[in-house]
Amino acid sequence: MKLKVVLEVSEDGGFTAYVPSLPGCISEGNTKEEALVNIREAIELYLEPTEDDHIQGEKAEVLELAL
């Protein structure tokens, strides 16, 4: 999977990284490299399934869509 990551210089120093396609997925680091390592971890946690993802009603149908 490839995701676009935006890397910006922070006003307080260091760098902020975020993923536009994953609302709220943001991280920072003192260097570009650190910010990229941190945003990778944030993406992995963001995409990790949670218990709520598995709640389904009796008549629920699970489908997959290719985009």
pLDDT tens for each residue of 1-54: 899 999 999 998 999 999 999 999 999 999 999 999 999 999 999 998 776 666
> What pLDDT, on the 0 to 100 scale, is given for residue 61?
78
What is residue 55's predicted lDDT score, i.e. its pLDDT?
Answer: 66
- Extract the runs of DSSP E, i.e. beta strands, from the chain: 6-9, 15-18, 26-29
62 Cβ neighbours under 8 A, 6+ residues apart:
56
DSSP code at position 20: T
Residue 54 has a pLDDT of 67
pTM: 0.74
Cα of 61 vs its chain's centroid, Å: 26
Residue type, 63: L
